[in-house]
């Protein structure tokens, strides 16, 4: 017997479909739904279950996770099609945490190896078992084993080939199953037909099969003994080992096919049915103790046009009738108002959700993506990884002021649906800032706002928080004197101003002697001086400056708080203009992760943006990747991520944090100052 004979895993399963951009994930979902009878036939581009939103169809790409439940051989299977673009990658995180298995759709394309590596690393970090579906096998120019050698560096675990192509006159016409030792001839959008393994491919099949068994034997002593003694292992033993190693994460089984033609889909479904872990295994992986209560993990939030909010959740344990009161790990609670299974945009109402199913819960307004739900006391959180730091931002406003409230509500719903978006109100500029993970990410967000809520939106680049300071000390007198009948106004001050070290802020002191400025007016002088810092001679807030009240005079009747504030403003205005004012720009410390073959391009991009390279090294734990550190002016970071991803097939990324303010001189400073004055 193998290391784990076990029984076949039954019950509803949840399978994530992941893979690099344009690898064919949505096409595979369509092929699965057509083969299982959930839809009459595979949809053409723009008519698929997976990419049903107007934004997805407009851009011919997945922009959110799509859920579709079907049945295969009497078992319920829910597939969640996750976007392949790195800009929408966070959609997969809550899905992968609660699913039983991931199908990684890959192409025999060397350029997509870094993107594949990102996905496989994510699965490793989450401990999710995975199969790899090598798609577009009918268009592959290299042999499948050569392709696996190409892809293996992207995977920490061995890529275990379960099928090899069946060829006729050099053309792929089917597959040979190495465990069953059967050949299958593809029929487009139909089940394959069984045939004998051709004599001219028998040697190739035996060699590939032995390699598969050798890999399995690394984790099964009994199988190793059989191989050493040249005893043919039992077929059940092989299948048990395939399932056990998949569960343990010691191998990544590889199946082949062509999703566009529906080829290889039935064998994939049978492998899922037999080998995929069940929900109890997933529950153990997540460390969730149920205590006999229903437990659900919220994988996604949707706001529908007519049905309100839907929380798509995986039933990790128990059963759940409609109208049940649930408490979230966040402490929020709510009563379910409607239970549904999903097929893309379509919903089918059900009365009870059972263990293992993936369902939509109606109108749980306080519940968020990533919450874990149960009855009574809240259960442990799944502790999802936080969304990565945004790398692109836009400032938004409604073109019609009457839509301001609608825009605010729409943005809140948008951020609920996509936690990798962030929204903030910039108090200094008064702008509403929406931040995300790339140009397309933000473009889709704007289109959703406009399409769903009928809001005309204007967008612009967010304001850069430029500052100004002074280079030399200056002393100035400010006198405010006004007589207009009755009490007049009189305030007189002498201010010494001088520059402070960068980042020191503002200091105010006084060296008044003899009461030339009474103590009760000194705070008013400080108030007037601070007020003058809101906009200096170059048009920007003034920082890193010390002001000392050195002298002055007052009038017993006409002096007042307001008079001394005004006197300070007059002195400050003249002093700042004469103290060699200079602009300051924010400088960010940036850490760039990039494939090593693109490191030179990254450093060139940084240099072209007035950046300074601090150093670069191999990225720890990532073969073939580098980490580049640099200082880049904030004003030069607009569309930085677009340029970086363009140079790396979409996989480079960065994190940034404010480092310091630096002087900005020359033509750029003049243009900014003139623009501020205009």
Q: What CA–CA distances, in Å, run from 584 to 40, 465, 489, 501, 606?
A: 63, 9, 37, 13, 20
Q: Which tokens hold the place of 372?
A: 């874990």
Question: Tens digits of per-residue pLDDT, 456-514?
Answer: 999 999 999 999 999 999 999 999 998 776 678 999 999 999 999 999 999 999 999 99
Q: In degrees, to the nearest 5, what angle opens at C-alpha 161 toward C-alphas 160 and 162?
A: 110
pLDDT digits (tens, 9 = 90+) for 182-198: 999 999 999 999 999 99
**Contact criterion met (CB below 8 Å) for 100 and 138:** no
* Residue 416 parent element (H or E): helix 404-417
Collapsing DSSP to helix, strand or coil, 287 comes out as coil
Strand partners, 468: 542, 583
- DSSP-derived 3-state class of residue 145: helix
d(Cα 46, Cα 43) in Å, to the nearest integer?
8
Sole residue written with tokens 């800032």: 433
CA 219 to each of CA 4, 178, 214, 222, 663: distance values in angstroms, whole numbers, following the listed order: 11, 18, 9, 9, 62
Residue 19, CA distances (Å) to 112, 119, 192, 417 in order: 10, 7, 25, 21
**CA–CA separation, 552 vs 206, rounded Å?**
100
Structure tokens at 205: 């099949």
CA atoms of 582 and 543, how far apart (whole Å): 11
Residue at token pair 């048990």: 240
Residues near 340 by Cβ (< 8 Å), separated by ≥ 6? Answer: 310, 347, 348, 349, 350, 359, 360, 362
Sorted by where each starts, the structural domains of the chain and their CATH numbers stand as 13-283 (3.40.50.300), 287-374 (2.40.30.10), 392-460 (3.30.70.870), 467-579 (3.30.230.10), 583-677 (3.30.70.240)
Contacts with 610 (C-beta within 8 Å, 6 or more apart), sequence order: 632, 633, 636
Torsion, Cα of 45, 50, 54, 58 (10° steps): -40
> From CA 289, how far away is CA 291, in angstroms rounded?
6
pLDDT value of residue 307: 78
Query: What is the DSSP annotation of 226-270?
Result: HHHTTPPPPHHHHHHHHHHHHHHTS-EEEEE-BGGGTBTHHHHHH
| Spans in the chain with pLDDT lower than 70 | 1-9, 44-46, 378-379, 485-486, 677-678
CA distances from 601 to 138, 624, 632, 645 (A): 34, 15, 16, 11
Q: Which two tokens stand for residue 422?
A: 């962030």
pTM for the model: 0.92
> Is the distance from CB of 653 to CB of 86 less than 8 angstroms?
yes
Distance of CA 417 to the CA centre of its chain: 12
Place of tokens 């739904």: 33
Helix (H) and strand (E) counts in the chain:
17, 34
Burial pattern 458-490, b for ≥16 Cβ within 10 A else e, equals eeeebebbbbbbbeeebbbbbbbeeeeeeeebb
- For residue 443, give the DSSP letter: H
Integer distance in angstroms from the first to the last C-alpha of the chain? 83
Q: How far is CA 437 from the centre of its chain?
A: 6
- Tokens found for residue 317: 């344990």
For 48-79, what is each residue's pLDDT tens digit?
888 888 999 899 899 999 999 999 999 999 99
């Amino acid at each position: 017997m193998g290391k784990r004979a076990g029984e076949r895993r039954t019950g509803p399963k949840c399978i994530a479909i992941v893979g690099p951009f344009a690898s064919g994930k949505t096409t595979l979902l369509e092929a699965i739904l057509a083969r299982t009878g959930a839809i009459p036939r595979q949809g053409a581009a723009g008519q698929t279950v997976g990419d049903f939103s107007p934004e997805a169809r407009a851009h011919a790409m997945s922009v959110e996770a799509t859920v579709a439940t079907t049945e295969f051989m009497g078992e319920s299977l829910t597939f969640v099609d996750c976007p392949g673009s790195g800009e929408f990658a966070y959609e997969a995180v809550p899905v992968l945490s609660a699913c039983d298995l991931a199908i990684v759709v890959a192409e025999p394309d060397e350029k997509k190896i870094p993107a594949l590596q990102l996905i496989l690393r994510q699965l490793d970090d989450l401990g999710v078992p995975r199969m790899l579906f090598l798609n577009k096998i009918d268009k592959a120019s290299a042999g499948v084993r050569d392709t696996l050698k190409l892809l293996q560096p992207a995977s920490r675990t061995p890529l275990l080939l379960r099928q090899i192509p069946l060829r006729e006159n050099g053309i792929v016409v089917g597959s040979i199953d190495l465990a069953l030792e059967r050949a299958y001839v593809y029929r487009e959008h139909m089940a394959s037909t069984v045939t004998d393994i051709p004599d001219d491919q028998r040697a190739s099949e035996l060699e590939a099969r032995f390699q598969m068994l050798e890999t399995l034997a690394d984790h099964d002593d009994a199988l190793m003994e059989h191989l050493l003694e040249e005893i043919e292992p039992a077929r059940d033993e092989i299948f048990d080992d395939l399932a056990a190693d998949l569960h343990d994460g010691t191998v990544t089984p590889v199946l082949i096919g062509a999703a566009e033609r529906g080829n290889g889909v039935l064998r994939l479904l049978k492998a899922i049915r037999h080998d995929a872990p069940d929900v109890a295994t997933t529950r153990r992986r997540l460390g969730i103790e149920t205590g006999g209560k229903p437990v659900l993990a919220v994988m996604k939030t949707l706001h529908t046009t007519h049905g309100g909010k839907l929380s798509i959740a995986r039933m990790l344990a128990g059963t759940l009738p409609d109208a049940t009161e649930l408490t979230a790990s966040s402490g929020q609670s709510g009563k379910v108002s409607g239970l549904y299974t999903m097929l893309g945009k379509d919903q089918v109402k059900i009365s009870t959700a059972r263990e293992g199913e993936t369902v939509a819960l109606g109108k749980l307004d306080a519940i968020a993506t990533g919450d874990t739900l149960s009855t009574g006391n809240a259960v442990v959180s799944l502790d999802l990884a936080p969304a990565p730091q945004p790398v692109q931002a836009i400032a938004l406003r409604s073109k019609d002021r009457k839509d301001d409230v609608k825009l605010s509500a729409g943005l809140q719903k948008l951020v609920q649906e996509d936690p990798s978006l962030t929204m903030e109100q910039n108090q200094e500029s008064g702008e509403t800032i929406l931040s995300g993970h790339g140009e397309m990410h933000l473009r889709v967000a704007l289109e959703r706002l406009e399409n769903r809520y009928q809001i005309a939106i204007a967008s612009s680049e967010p304001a850069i928080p430029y500052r100004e300071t002074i280079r030399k000390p200056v002393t100035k007198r400010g006198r405010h004197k006004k007589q207009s009948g009755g009490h007049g106004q009189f305030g007189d001050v002498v201010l010494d101003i001088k520059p402070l070290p960068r980042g020191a802020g503002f200091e105010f002191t006084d060296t008044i002697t003899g009461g030339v400025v009474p103590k009760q007016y000194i705070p008013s002088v400080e108030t007037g001086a601070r007020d003058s810092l809101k906009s200096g001679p170059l048009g920007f807030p003034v920082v890193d400056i010390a002001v000392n009240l050195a002298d002055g005079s007052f009038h017993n009747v006409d002096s007042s708080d307001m008079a001394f504030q005004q006197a300070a403003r007059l002195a400050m205005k003249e002093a700042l203009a004469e103290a060699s004012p200079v602009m300051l720009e924010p400088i960010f410390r940036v850490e760039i992760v990039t494939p090593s073959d693109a490191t030179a391009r990254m450093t060139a991009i940084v240099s072209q943006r007035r950046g300074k390279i601090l150093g670069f090294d191999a990225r720890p734990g990532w073969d073939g990747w580098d980490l580049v550190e640099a200082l880049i002016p904030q004003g030069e970071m607009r569309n930085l991520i677009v340029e970086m991803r363009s140079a790396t097939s979409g996989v480079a990324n960065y994190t940034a944090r404010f480092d310091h303010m630096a002087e900005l001189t020359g033509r750029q400073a003049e243009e900014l100052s003139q623009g501020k004055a205009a």
